[in-house]
Structure 1
């Protein structure tokens, strides 16, 4: 089966891909992408500046038709980051808005094991790493989501997410091209853009959904949709609750990362629990282990390091033209995240082991639980919780909060009255804003008490 199966169907639909600046039917997209494929045939690897435009979608589609791995370069990448990506991958950067002539001949489908994308992802240390993802992994991931979300050709997906991440590119562009649904890309994921663009499915990150929840008129405009999907970071429970109240439906959360694609999700026709990301998708298995690698119980309480196994895993990391296999643990991929899993398989992501698992006074505390509680205070708009080294406690729970006028002591007491007292922040810093990356994730490493 072809990776971009719906592009090759004989039936056509006007406006399969729509942006504020134009649209392409299935036939037009296939013709233009085939022209790109012909122009880059035989290239070892190429790169594209992943601007939010039809040109990026055409170029990525063309590379996939040609079987040439493609590197989407973030359009806001600084000079050093751009140079690193191009040097590390060895990719040739294609001209901006590459406009190859349409071609009638479509190349033969490459082997499923062929590398499709090289997505650069930032780790906690060092420069970004090039994650090599095969055609087979993308197909397996999208097909699993099609079942979980009842995603069909009758859907129209709306989003304005960047086109250089799994969320915006793999799910948000390749998903429609494989499954046949329409795509309306709003360029920016603003409440006004989403509210004015009709669709049946909407994709967003927590920052997007938080802003929509704060705009009741925009949120109510999404009520006719059948699925609101949140990912890339945990969705705060207050935002989950607000969306449910304003739209009449709870959002669907899912979990994944660049190296694994999407592995866990709530279902379109199933339960949706605030603070949880669902159960493993078909073909995916997960487990929790402790620091020594011993398997932990799935009792809904025990926090452990999350490992996953399945057909959506990366091939490896690209470096100097070679692909270094990932460091698996008996076939399991260590995600670097910590989580709880209940007896029914429901996963709650505590956060990154390096920043969100706080060991304080002999207790293990998940930063997300404290953040969600702080967000329930009427004065609080944003919250980030970290562990700061402490001579007595080991780590001290410390909160950075964006809020209307409120005292730090009041926020500490607010948490202590709703969670176990050892989970309260010992220190609260009131700040003007939290540092975030392009996907809206808080960059906790940039938080400072100085």
Structure 2
């Protein structure tokens, strides 16, 4: 296949990576990754200690240029999880910055220090060695899932999937080499690493990484020429909260070409607050580790709050009933599980042929486990996970996500999560977990139930309300519903 990063084959002096005051031009990046790639055993697997730094980006690109598969390691993971990942993936080495302190298990691997200070990397530097030939199906990344139903599984992502996803997003978002992306996401998962770093490099553009997210950093970079912002709902929620008192931030966001949110649903009330203050609407996309990106609101389409847009070019998407039969015609009340197929899919779970077989239907569709409705014009709205967010109450199939959005529109609610619990009469009753805007004066359960019933339907009102000071969240800001238990 063609190189993943064409701009590194004949590199120029445009800036490719900027992490704080550390920058690399394409010529410097080509030299640094070429030198590091020469030290990486080709065709195997190497772990990358994935801190949010310039060195991590260099390490992953170098591994891909060497024809090896990179296994990003989350530095915040516990020893047990890291031990499982290292044992399962069996990397030949770990790539880390010279000053990184690695934990037991990881530090026992042969270590390759990441060096970005390659002398003679100006425009007169020798051309980097050509990338080795690589096949479409060769592994590029092995990214481990969150492990909510057991030990994390390593999703083997081929080069073909990375190229097809990034090219499909380029078409949907009109993403070019002229774009400058800013984000502050971690670099051990698909959103921050594949979209946020490899995406700009495939286009020949630039990424400016904040190191640590802040609204001040967003305003600075967007005012300094950045054109796109990638974030997760927690980041956009902080932006929405800061906007009323920060006209500089509002102006910066208003000048951005594209604001993209992903990894979880962005509450409608945050959509509306940002749009009202900036004149720009956030677009959402939908993907997961095993499939990379499946759908998105297009740059030239309607940025409709609460939806994740339409299938990307090359991606097939269908909704199915519980028995696996496709839903022939839908509408805003027809809930089904999303299944997808296309070149964006992974090849399987490392060392887990049983899990791989279970993940696919006999005709090759991947079972996402996500529940959605599909509007008549093709827009997809995610209503939750099949395992935790599909509530069967009184003969209805109800998605937790739409109830959560309705609760968040109540002025007395800061955060909300919805689950189901057994009920002798209804089958399951709807349970709301609410963080009040004022902890000492929460809205009553009846008030919240009436609020939801008035916006959605009476059968979707919560029957039980629990009040919390905070919702349990993971590193990506996703609510961990399995950690929600009654007192």
Same fold (TM over 0.5): yes
1:38 Cα offset (Å)? 0.5
Match for residue 312 of structure 1? Answer: 344
Match for residue 208 of structure 2? Answer: 184
Alignment partner of 1:208 out of 223, 227, 235: 235
* Maintained 8 Å contact 1:66/1:110: no
1:392 Cα offset (Å)? 1.8
Q: 1:449 to 1:220 in 2, by over 3 A?
A: farther
Alignment partner of 2:263 out of 232, 236, 239: 232
Q: Which ranges of structure 1 fall in alignment gaps of 5 or more residues?
A: none
Distance 1:124 1:362 in 2: 28
* Maintained 8 Å contact 1:202/1:228: yes
Q: 1:409 to 1:286 in 2, by over 3 A?
A: same
1:114 Cα offset (Å)? 0.9
Match for residue 23 of structure 2? Answer: 23
SS of the aligned residue for 1:35 comes to helix
TM-score by length of 1: 0.96
Distance 1:327 1:287 in 2: 15
Match for residue 345 of structure 1? Answer: 378
1:320 Cα offset (Å)? 7.9
Aligned CA RMSD, in angstroms, stands at 1.8
Distance 2:396 2:170 in 1: 40
Distance 1:414 1:135 in 2: 48
Runs of 4+ in 1 over 6 A off after TM superposition: 320-323
Instruction: Determine if the alignment matches structure 1 residue 56 to structure 2 residue 56.
Output: yes
SS of the aligned residue for 2:18 comes to strand
SS of the aligned residue for 1:138 comes to helix
Instruction: Determine if the alignment matches structure 1 residue 423 to structure 2 residue 438.
Output: no
Match for residue 221 of structure 1? Answer: 252
SS of the aligned residue for 2:429 comes to strand
Structure 1 residues 335-363: Cα deviation after superposition (integer angstroms, max 9, x where no partner): 00011112221100111011111111111
Instruction: Determine if the alignment matches structure 1 residue 99 to structure 2 residue 114.
Output: yes
Distance 1:11 1:326 in 2: 46
Match for residue 4 of structure 1? Answer: 5
Alignment partner of 2:274 out of 225, 232, 243: 243
Match for residue 285 of structure 1? Answer: 316
* Maintained 8 Å contact 1:86/1:93: no
The 5 Å alignment of 1:83-122 reads 83-97=83-97, 98-100=113-115, 102=118, 104-122=128-146
Distance 1:322 1:105 in 2: 40
Distance 1:25 1:395 in 2: 57
SS of the aligned residue for 1:85 comes to helix
TM-score by length of 2: 0.89
Instruction: Determine if the alignment matches structure 1 residue 401 to structure 2 residue 438.
Output: no
Structure 1 residues 180-219: Cα deviation after superposition (integer angstroms, max 9, x where no partner): 1110000122222211212100000111111101111234
Distance 1:379 1:436 in 2: 21
Match for residue 160 of structure 1? Answer: 184
1:21 Cα offset (Å)? 4.4
Distance 2:358 2:194 in 1: 20
Q: How many residues were matched structurally? A: 449
Distance 2:309 2:403 in 1: 21
SS of the aligned residue for 1:215 comes to helix
1:322 Cα offset (Å)? 12
1:260 Cα offset (Å)? 0.5
Match for residue 105 of structure 2? Answer: none
Distance 1:424 1:336 in 2: 24
